[in-house]
Every structure is written in structure tokens, then in C-alpha cells.
Structure 1
């Protein structure tokens, strides 16, 4: 019953298709007749017009010396810009092809699946044997190719996809006949797939179809996987791939098909990397070098003929150099051979020949910049490898810089896009590099593999930030994008973490309190350096304000929280007193930031900034004096508790009163109301603390001393404020009188 239904459906589909085909042919004939009539009418009118113009012509052609000149030429052509066609995105042709041929691709894919399901159904019903199944597959593939052959004149793209589908059927049939049915040996299967590949490449060249040769290459590179038995015969495999790549090179030279080279490069590199990882051996070096030469010639085809390098050529030059260096260095490193830097130096020498060629031609264009960038990058990789850096991290970091450099010189956004793709991989590789600190012992200071690798990454990052600073090639405008801001933040974060991990590793045997304090102290100085060089680093004003806020937070944490365990460690003789003196170095950047950086920044655009600055100063001064007092008068932990309580009751109100007076004085002098508010708020807090708690904890002598000292300070402060107010009032009066005199 199911078979009868299937036959009926096929008959109905055939009838519908036949009717549609008849209608389409009728429409094509009508359109052809209309086109013929339309083309004929202008020809007749043109003949009539020529006759009329010939009769009405009075002045001979020699006398007509006057010709119509465009207005722009009359004006000397000044201030006129010749419109240039907009450069299309490199993905536009791909998307256009997919939009126009999506149904065809889906259709041929569905047809292949339908044939496969039909054959499976026939097998399940025992209608055909193994040999007949393979024969049906080969005949079906050949039939589809023949159909594509007859359709190629009028429907080029459609015929190419149809032919590619037929080639796919042939590949899968050969694979199934070998792997599932065991109809022939592996050698026979390989020869069969090789013949299919050769025939498809010849058809591609004959039809001049770039789509078809992509199908051919995919099948050719997939053939070894289709007929694989699990036994690795890499020399035979790469001899086959080399012959396939040479055929690719010849076809791409004859037809100038860039996509062919890219497809071959991706598949060949994947095979080489798999072989390198699975079974690194010296023989693979030969195939790396052969592949390098093939793809280098492919990339330089236009350069040799016309002296130009397209975007595609530059990309494959960069990727071929770096992928070859990566694989070859991995082989040497795994096998323990020396010197590994020979390969990047050889490739640098090859590119140097082309660089000197450009230099001799006095040409400093895109090609010169590309070869200069490649030579510099390869030499840098050689230096990095000589210092035993992490291989992948160093190569990827240097490649990101090369991509940005080429983008800067050529203006092609594709290089910047690849930079965005590669940058996260560099960050992942850098994180893997940092893990080498875990469990490591006896690393030298600075001259150790993780930090040397980080150093090359840092150098690369700094160059990247410099190249990203000017967003346009000829434009002076700087447009900050989300991705570039994110990359900038991540870059400074990588620099920070690299130094922090190096410092932490070398102080890891110290008490935990010392490690935390050193980390905070380094963080403070790192932010200070960023703020100090904010103009050369082109740090925006809003980012500067955020850095200053973070700087004050770290200062407060380091003074109030992390220093207490340090004092305990000093009193228990776990740390020397000089460590606490080292901690006092934070006041150098603190004073500089407050006195020099903040006045020239956008920090005080918000009123809350005055409160944050004041709070950081109050907490830092109070805690620092507290810690110093405790260390001076205490010999052990119990005495430190008593000294701390005595300081909080007796000296802390005095300190707050002095600070409050300073804030009020600054507020009056600079006419900043927020400082006045801070000062009076601090006095109010001090009074509440003094009369609400401290006075009940003091003895009589301390109470008398505190009240006398605070009274004197308050009176002197009040007297100073009155004098300051009088001075300000006199200045205002004098200014008013001078203005009246002038009037």
C-alpha cells in the first residue's frame, strides 16, 4: 500500500512539474518576442532621427569649435570631489549568492537525502544487493552531473550547485562501498576518490565555476577521512594533499579564484596541526615547508603580476607565516631539538627579500608596510622563543599587533575584525600562561617563563592601544566604540594582573597580611602611574574620575583594614618594623593626586567627590596616626589593645578637630561649600563621640587635658575664621570702590 501511495505521489508531482514547465516556456517565448519588438523600435526611430538631423544641419562640423564643457571644468575643477563607488563589504558577495541560490542549495541537499532514504528503503526491503546499491549511487551521481552539464549555458549557478551535488553523491557512494559493503580495498577506494576529485577539478575549470571547485576541494580534502581505517599513514596522506594543493594553485592562477586557496589553506592547516599534535616527527617539517611555499606563491600571485596585495592576499600571508611558525616550533619543542628560532628567522629572511624589493623601488605603500610588519613580527617571535616564552600566547599576541598595524596602513576593516576575533584567544592563552605560577618553585625574579611571556603580551598590548588611539586612517576624529573601550579596559587589566602575580609569587612565603598589604600597595601605585600618564595614554576625563575614586577606595582599605594584621605581625615578630615603614610610601601618590592631578581633572564635577576625598583623608590620617602610636608605645598584643583604646579616647577627637578646622578653612578660602559642610559634620561627630562616650571612659587628668586642648583648638580656629572673613570682606569692599572710581 505504501509503495502504491509513493508511486501516485511521484506521478502527481511529475504532472504538476510538467504543467509548470510548459507555462514557464510559454512565458519565456512571450518575453522574448516583446524584447525583440522593443529592440527593433529604437533602431527604426534612430534611423529616422539621423535623416532629419542630416537635412537640418547648416554649419559644417569643422566650424563647430564650440563644445559643451561641464561647469566643474570651466571653474578649473576646484573644490569638486569625484564620487568614488562605495567599497562593498567582503561578505556581501557571499550573502548575495546565498540569497539567490538558497533554494537551489536546499533542494539539492534534500534530493541527495531523498535518494539516500530511497536506497535505504530498498535495502531494508532486500530489493537490491550491495553491488547494485553502489551501482545505483554511482549512476545517480553521474546522472546529476549530466543534468548539470546540459543546464550550464542558461543557468550557470544552478548548474554548478547541481553538479556539486552529483559529485557529493559520488564521494559518499565510494565511501559507503568501501566502509560498509567492503566491495574494494582501501587503495582502490583512494584511487576512486582521487579520480573523482581530479574529474571535478577539470569540470570546474572547463565550466569556469568557482562554486563547483569549492565542492571539489571539500570532497578532495574529505576523501582521506571517508576511506580512513584508523591506521595513520601520514606521509601518504600529505603526498596526496600536496598534489591536491598544487592542482589548486594551478587552477587559482589560471582563473584567479581566491576562495580556492582559502579553502585549501584551511583544510591543509587543520590536517597539519592534527598530525603535529598526534605524532610530531621530523618528516612533518618537510610538509610544513612545502605547504608554506605553495600558499606563499598563492598569496603573491597578484603581487608578482601587478605589484599589488589585496586584502585576501595580506591575510593569507599573515596566517601562513604564523601557522607555519606555530606548528614547526611545536615540533622542535616537543622533540627537544635546537635552535627553534631557525624557522621564524628563515621566514623573516624570505619576507626581507620582498621588503628590500619594495625599498629599492622607493615604494612605501601597503606592500612595504605588510612586509615590514611581517619581518618585525617574525623577529620578535624569534626573540620571544629564545627567552622560552609560552609559544601560543606569544605568537597570537604578536599577530594581533600585526593585524592592527596592517589595518592602520591599509584601512581595510577586515584586519581589525580579525583582531577582534584573535584578541579573546590571546586573553585565554594568557590566562593559561598565568597558571604556570601554580605549584612552581625556584622561579627567578622577572626572568622566568610566565613573566617573560607576559612581558611580550604587555608590549603587544601597549602597541595595540597606541594603534587604536586614532580610529581613522586619514581622519583626526576619535570615535570610541564599545569594543575598543572594552579592549582598553581588559588590556590594562592584563598588565595589572601580570605584575601582581609576579610580585605575589615572590612574596608568597611571607605572612598573608603582608601579601595582602603588598598587593594593595602595588594596586595604589599602578593606578597612580595610570593617572600620572593619563595624557600620553589618552585616558578620557570620565575614566580618570573613576580611577581617582578607585584610588581613594584602595587608599582607605590599605590604611584601615589591611594594616591592622600587619601591626599584629610586627608586634609578634613575624614581620620587621621596616615593612610598616614601606607601607607609608602610599602617602607619596596620595599627596600628589590630591595636589596636582585632581585640580586638572574632571573629578570635582560632582559634589559627592568632595565628600569622598574628605572621607578618604579623614580615615587615612586617623588610622595612620593610630597605627603609628600603637607601634611606638606597645611591645606586645595586650599592650596594643590598651594603646588603641587610649588613642581613640584622647587623641582621636583632637585629630578630628584639627581636620575639621582645616576643611572649614579650605572651604572659606576657596569658596567651596562642601568642605565647610564636611568640617562642621566632623565637628558634630567629634562632639557626639566626646560627650556621648569618651568623657565617661577618661580619668580626671585625661578629661581635663582633652577639654583644655580641644577648647584651645576651637578658639584658635574660630579666631582664624574671623580674621579670614574680615580679609575677604575688605577685599570685596576695595574691589567695589575701585569699580566706582573707574565709573
Structure 2
């Protein structure tokens, strides 16, 4: 008991010291206020004597001119930098973090003290609850007296007192069983009502947020583990109606967002744990409440803020996810009723804007929501996957709103949601591994992919238009988004193709996959101007196309030829395989004058190596197919082509590279030609000569001699050209 008396004594001493300090602080504040009044008082009786300009020395006169302030016209006034939307939050925390920590520490201290008293059997269970309620009321009373001079501080103090009341009621019900659940609920409801009334009376937005947090936490505090959802959501509906009333009277948007977050958590938990038709009623009720909340400024002043727009997007799509999950789980039809119903609501608002001939921001938002919801309804009708479709459409809607409004919050939300769309789509694609005998195109996996592909195309179009209007501050994210978007479209189409040809031999699957990849990139390059593809993305696509062509012409073609010789594929399939020459010819033709592609020397080498591989392998595989009837002779035929015909092909290609170098004045092609010649000579001397008969050996040496002579002549000609150019430049300098 001595410890209890000592604690009370310490509290009294602290209160006395705080009271003295508080009086001194008030006297200092009054003195500072008086000094400010004296300093700012206009000096009417002061006479300013100015010295004639002629009597001022020249140096002082010049100095005086330099310090004359210049007045800015309204157009010349510097623009105030826009504050980050998180800055008010950080300012609030910087100014009140000690208060928040202090009240939290005080509540914990009181809790530990009561526990200590309980452990020592100083007080009984009823007294414990009484002390807790008295302490909470006392803290609230202290906040009441401090509210005039310290509004925010008093709000936090009052919130701490309310928290003590909530926790005391919870402990009294769950631990001590002093009253029933209904009584505990009535007490917590009364505390919440008092809390809201005080917040309204004090005109404190901080206090109303504390009240809402307590109101939504109360059901958890008095829960017994038994699920009475009707009772719970009736209470939450009343709480949200109070929120809506407060939001309309005081225009406190944070209250509505707090309610939305907690209500959504409760609804989704109910939906996942025990889906039933009753929850649909509360989904509709909350949809109406939060829709009215989001439209309050639109109703009063015919405007929509970015946060109101975000609420419209979230309440539409979160409600659809929950409602359709319930319908699918309980096997009810039709699932498209809710997207169409919500689309109808937005269509009415759209018609209202159209009737007023107002085609501004609000009109665009309602139009976007209506189209998005109808799109989801169509996707659901064909049994596509819900989450992926909803998120994909919602991401496009956020980007559309960003384009129309210019508010960066929608851009941020889009970049947050888009990775989730990718994850959901990847999970959808994984179902290709588990499902058999799905229809072509009209199957749930591809229909979901089709929604994602459509929205991705819309995203690319919107982003292109946005970048035309406002130049992006950092193109890195835009480039990454563009690459990822085209990759999603590519993978969606490729997986559908591979799924339906998976029964074919593996060489055929590989070849078709590579051909599709080549033609996909080919189409992007053909449409590059309309799609806005340029710069590093265009160059990257060309590199990727060349690599795929080289793989298709070498490894994939070899597998196809083997399969044809083994009678697994027809020779006609090999002719289809050669279709990579169409995009390759296009690239060769268009990159000839593309200075962006040839900014680096490696570009010449990549395109030249691809050409050598494509030509050599093309002739090689065609020769094998036309010469071999028995697979046992395939090794000898390959060796014959490698020794006799491959050097001839490389000779022609080396000559073409050297000729192009001389004609176009591109030294890099000359180097490539000489390197190819060197490789051929090295191959001839180190391997080929020792495998030939006499006639072939003579032929090879003759060809080699011609090649060496041509190379020597070309080199001499190139050297003379370079020498003449250098001499000409020196003459120009001397002249």
C-alpha cells in the first residue's frame, strides 16, 4: 500500500511542477505578444530626412542604386512550389509526436499500475473497472479544459481518455464478466456517440478520427468469438450513417476514408469466412453510403476532387469483387448483374452531365466508370477470372483519370496496381498447365488474358497521349512500363498458341514459338511510328529480333530438319520455318539508313553475324534435306557441305561486306569482311584440307588463292582511299 501512496505523491508533485511551469510559459507568451505589438506599431511621428542626391558621393550613390528593391508584377511573381500530399501528415507528426507518444505511454502506465494493484490484491474487480472509467473520464476532462489554447494537444489527450474507457469496458466484460455482452455493447456505443458529439462540439477532425477508430474497434473488444454478422453490420451501418452526416456538416474527408477502410476489412472478412446472401444487402448499403460520400462536393458545388474520384473507383471495384465472389461461391446466376447495376448508376450520372452539356472532368470520370463496368460484365459472362479482369480494368481507369485530371495521385495508384495485375495474370496463365481440352480463344484463361491485353493496349495509348501533352520528368518508368506492357501482350498470345499446338513434336512447337516471336517484334517495328516506339526501345527490339532470327535459323532449324528426316514433320513445315526471312529483309532494308541503330560499333557486328548465320544455316539445312534420304548418311553429308560449300558462302559474304564498306565508306564492314575471311582461312588450313580428297583439295586451294588476292587488292584500295582523304584534309588546312 505504501507503493500506491508513493505513486500518488509523485503524481501530485509532477502536477504542481507542471502548473508552475505552465504559469511561467503563459507570462512569457504575454511578454512576447506585447513586444510584437510594439515592434509592428506604425511609426507615424518619425520624420525621415533625405540628403540631396547631389551631395551623396558617387560611390554611395552607386551603392544606393544597387539596393533599391524591384517590384514584381503579378506575372513575374515566383510560383510557390507544390507541397507533397504527405507533407501535412509529416508536419502533424513533427509537431505532435511527443504528445501522441506521451498519451500512449500514460495509458500503458495506468494499465501497468492497475495490473500491479490487482496482483497485490489492493482492489477488487468492480473497483478496478471503476478506477479505469474514472481515469478515462479524468483525462477527457483535462482535455476539455485545455482545448481553448491547445486544440490539437487537447484532442489527442481526449482521444487517450476515450481509449481508456474502451479498454476498461473491454476488460470488465471479457476478463471480469461484470456485465453481459449487450450491456458492454451499449456502453461502447454510448462512448462512441459521446466521442463523436465532443468532436463535433470541439470542431476537431483529429478527435473524430479517434472516435471512428474506437467505434470500429469496439466490436472486436466485446467479441465472444460467435459470429453475429447481422448485429455487427447493423451497428457499422449506423456508424457509417453518422460518419456521412458528419462529413456533410463539417466536410471532413478523412472521416469517410477511415470508415471505408474499416468497413471494407469487416466486409471482406465476412465474405471469405462465411459467404451468404445477407452480406449482399450490406454491400449494397455501404455502396450507397460511400457513393454519396464521394459525390458530396459534386452535389454541392458540381466538382470532383482527386480523392473523391479515387473513392468512386475503389467503392465500385471493391464491391464488385466481394459481391461476385459471393455469387460464385454460392453458385448463383447471373454474376453480371452487379457490374451492370453499378454501370447503370454511373450511366445515370453520365446522362445528368450530358444533359447539362458539361463534358469536363466529371463527365469523363462517369463515362470511364460506365465503360469499365460494362467491360467487366462482358468478361464475367464468358467466365473469365474476376480478380485479374477487375484489376486490369481498374488500372486502365486510373490511367485514364490521370490523363483527364493531371493529378499525380492517380499515376501513383496506377503504378502500384499495375504490378498486381501482372501477378494476377501470371497466376491465371499457370492454369494452362492444369486444364485440358479448352476451346480455341473462347476459354476462361485466354478471355481473361484478352481483357488484360485490351486494357494494356489502352494503357499504352493513354500513356502516349499523356507524354505528348506533358513531357515525363523521368522516362525510365515509362520505358519500363512500355516494355512490360508489350511483354504481357506477347506472352498472352504465345501461351495460347503453344497450349493448342502442345501435342505436336517439340521441334515444331519451338519453331512456331520462335516464328511468332519474330513476327510479333516485326509488327511492332512496322507500326513503330503509330505506336510511338523509338529510341532505346526501338534499338532493343531490333537487337532482340536479330537474336531470335539467329536462333531460329540455327538451333530450331536443325531440330526441324532432323524431325523431317525422321518423318515426324513434313518437308513443307521446313518451308514455313524459313518465313523469318521476311522480317529479316525488312530489318536489313530499314536499318541501312537508321543512324540511331548504328550509334555503336557493335550494331554492325550483330547484324552481320546474324546475316552470316541465317545465310549459312539456310543453305546448309536446305542442302541436307535435298541430299539425304537415309538418316545414316546425314553425318557424311554435313561434313561434305562444311568442307566444300561453306567456304564458298563465306567468301561471297566477306566480299559483300568489303564491297559495302568501300561503297558506303563504313570501315566496320571492312573489318567484318576481313575477320570472316580470316576465320575461313583458319578453318581451311586447320581442318578442311585434311579431310579432302585430291580434287577437292585442289579446288579449295584455288578458291583460297582467289580470296587472298581479292582481299589484298581490296586492302590496298582501301589504304589508298584513306591516304587520299588524309592528304586532302591536310591540303585544306594549309590552304
The answer, yes or no, to whether TM exceeds 0.5 is: yes
Match of 1:99 in 2: 94
Match of 1:360 in 2: 355
Match of 1:230 in 2: 225
3-state SS in 2 of match to 1:182: coil
Deviates more, 1:176-185 or 1:581-590: 176-185
Deviation at 1:38, TM superposition (A): 5.3
Match of 1:137 in 2: 132
Q: Distance in 2 between matches of 1:186 and 1:704?
A: 106
Match of 1:462 among 446, 457, 468: 457
Structure 1 contact 559–623 (Cα < 8 Å) conserved: yes
Q: Distance in 2 between matches of 1:154 and 1:722?
A: 93
Match of 1:333 in 2: 328
1:395 equivalent to 2:378? Answer: no
Structure 2 contact 591–597 (Cα < 8 Å) conserved: no
CA distance 1:45–1:23, shift in 2 (3 Å): same
Match of 1:213 in 2: 208
Match of 2:605 among 600, 611, 618: 611
Match of 2:310 among 301, 308, 315: 315
Deviation at 1:722, TM superposition (A): 11
Deviation at 1:430, TM superposition (A): 0.9
Match of 1:422 in 2: 417
Deviation at 1:40, TM superposition (A): 6.9
Match of 2:51 in 1: none
Which string of whole-angstrom CA distances, capped at 9 and with x for unpartnered residues, describes residues 183-242 of structure 1? 222222222211111111111111111111111111111111222222211111111111
**Correspondence 1:245-264 to 2 at 5 A:** 245-264=240-259
Match of 2:512 among 511, 514, 518: 518
CA distance 1:30–1:714, shift in 2 (3 Å): closer
Q: Distance in 1 between matches of 2:468 and 2:719?
A: 60
Match of 2:176 among 165, 178, 181: 181
Deviation at 1:292, TM superposition (A): 0.7
Match of 2:26 in 1: 28
Deviation at 1:530, TM superposition (A): 2.3
Which string of whole-angstrom CA distances, capped at 9 and with x for unpartnered residues, describes residues 619-659 of structure 1? 22111211111111112332111111111111111111111
CA distance 1:114–1:472, shift in 2 (3 Å): farther
Match of 1:593 in 2: 587
Structure 1 contact 369–409 (Cα < 8 Å) conserved: yes
Q: Distance in 2 between matches of 1:484 and 1:20?
A: 57
Match of 2:667 in 1: 673
3-state SS in 2 of match to 1:466: helix
Q: Distance in 1 between matches of 2:469 and 2:699?
A: 72
Deviation at 1:608, TM superposition (A): 2.1
Q: Distance in 2 between matches of 1:725 and 1:168?
A: 89
Match of 2:627 in 1: 633
Structure 1 contact 469–478 (Cα < 8 Å) conserved: no
Q: Distance in 1 between matches of 2:302 and 2:82?
A: 21
Q: Distance in 1 between matches of 2:695 and 2:42?
A: 125
CA distance 1:426–1:726, shift in 2 (3 Å): closer
Structure 1 contact 471–479 (Cα < 8 Å) conserved: no
Q: Distance in 1 between matches of 2:40 and 2:77?
A: 33
3-state SS in 2 of match to 1:232: coil
**Correspondence 1:437-448 to 2 at 5 A:** 437-448=432-443
Deviation at 1:260, TM superposition (A): 0.5
Deviation at 1:578, TM superposition (A): 2.0
Q: Distance in 2 between matches of 1:487 and 1:719?
A: 51
Match of 2:481 in 1: 487
CA RMSD of aligned residues (A): 3.0
3-state SS in 2 of match to 1:181: coil
CA distance 1:38–1:333, shift in 2 (3 Å): closer
Q: Distance in 2 between matches of 1:190 and 1:40?
A: 58
Which string of whole-angstrom CA distances, capped at 9 and with x for unpartnered residues, describes residues 567-613 of structure 1? 22221112222222211011111111011245225111112221221
CA distance 1:452–1:335, shift in 2 (3 Å): same
Match of 2:119 among 117, 121, 124: 124
Structure 1 contact 631–640 (Cα < 8 Å) conserved: no
3-state SS in 2 of match to 1:536: helix
CA distance 1:563–1:260, shift in 2 (3 Å): same
Match of 2:596 in 1: 602
Deviates more, 1:634-643 or 1:160-169: 634-643
Structure 1 contact 570–576 (Cα < 8 Å) conserved: yes
Match of 2:685 among 675, 687, 691: 691
3-state SS in 2 of match to 1:600: coil
Deviation at 1:20, TM superposition (A): 4.8
Q: Distance in 2 between matches of 1:649 and 1:375?
A: 69
Match of 1:573 in 2: 567
Deviates more, 1:291-300 or 1:671-680: 671-680
Q: Distance in 2 between matches of 1:244 and 1:725?
A: 88
Q: Distance in 2 between matches of 1:616 and 1:136?
A: 85
Which string of whole-angstrom CA distances, capped at 9 and with x for unpartnered residues, describes residues 118-155 of structure 1? 11111222222222222222111111111111111111
Structure 1 contact 658–713 (Cα < 8 Å) conserved: no
3-state SS in 1 of match to 2:530: coil
Structure 1 contact 657–714 (Cα < 8 Å) conserved: no
Deviates more, 1:365-374 or 1:515-524: 515-524
Match of 2:50 in 1: none
**Correspondence 1:259-278 to 2 at 5 A:** 259-278=254-273
Deviation at 1:461, TM superposition (A): 1.4
1:701 equivalent to 2:699? Answer: no
Deviation at 1:704, TM superposition (A): 3.7
Q: Distance in 1 between matches of 2:2 and 2:164?
A: 27
Q: Distance in 1 between matches of 2:365 and 2:713?
A: 70
Structure 1 contact 387–449 (Cα < 8 Å) conserved: yes
Structure 1 contact 411–473 (Cα < 8 Å) conserved: no
Deviation at 1:480, TM superposition (A): 3.5
Match of 2:534 among 540, 546, 556: 540
CA distance 1:71–1:4, shift in 2 (3 Å): closer
1:167 equivalent to 2:152? Answer: no
Match of 1:197 in 2: 192
Q: Distance in 2 between matches of 1:235 and 1:604?
A: 70
Match of 1:280 in 2: 275
Deviation at 1:24, TM superposition (A): 3.6
Consecutive unaligned residues in structure 1, runs of 5 or more: 51-69
3-state SS in 1 of match to 2:529: coil
1:373 equivalent to 2:368? Answer: yes
Which string of whole-angstrom CA distances, capped at 9 and with x for unpartnered residues, describes residues 650-709 of structure 1? 111111111111111111111111111221222222222223321221122333444456
Deviation at 1:360, TM superposition (A): 2.1
